Structure formats: structure tokens, C-alpha cells
Amino acid sequence: MLTNDDLLLWFQRLAIPAQTRSIIDCIRSSGPSRHVGGGRTNVSGRYPSRKMGVTIQFESHRVELAGVYEMEHDAGVLELF
């Protein structure tokens, strides 16, 4: 996860507008929008993200977990929420 200084440098380098910065700050400071539940056919679990320093919940091992794993190991992805 980016530090506040790293994030500010990224905003400046890409000339991110103030309104967009505000939206990103809101997303970064919010908790999960929902709790993961399991259905009859879903496989839910938790992935310990080194990139984010938290455990990320997933509700589908074929789609969500695959996406989390891909973003976790993609150097071009700075953070995932």
C-alpha cells in the first residue's frame, strides 16, 4: 500500500484533479462495503495480501480470488480495494 507521501507524488506526477483525489482518499479510508457471505455454490475465503498489508476476503475462488491474485502479483497495480 502506498504511503501518503507516495500517493501525493503519484497524484502530482499524473496531474490528478482535486475532485478525483478526494474520491480516491475516500475509497482508501473506507472499510469494506460489504461482508463476504457464502452461498451453496460459492467458495469464500481470505487472501493475505502483502501488497496491501491486510487480509482480503473473496467470495469466488474462480473469479474474485483469481483477480486478487493477479492484482497482487502485477507490478503495475499499486493498490487494490
Q: In the beta sheet, which residues pair with residue 54?
A: 49
pLDDT given for residue 67 in this prediction: 95
pLDDT digits (tens, 9 = 90+) for 7-65: 999 999 999 999 999 999 999 999 888 778 766 777 889 999 999 999 999 988 889 99
The strand ranges marked E within the chain are: 45-49, 54-58
User: Residue 41 has what pLDDT?
Assistant: 75
Total domains present in the chain? 2
Mapped onto helix, strand or coil, the DSSP state of residue 11 is helix
Q: Are residues 1 and 25 in the same domain?
A: yes
Provide CB contacts within 8 A for 15, sequence distance 6+. Answer: none
Q: What pTM does this model have?
A: 0.78
Element at 20 (helix H, strand E)? helix 18-29
Is the domain of 26 the same as that of 43?
Answer: no
Cβ within 8 Å of residue 65, ≥6 positions away: 45, 47, 58
Judgement on whether residues 6 and 43 belong to the same structural domain of the protein: no
Dihedral sign (CA 71, 51, 27, 33): positive
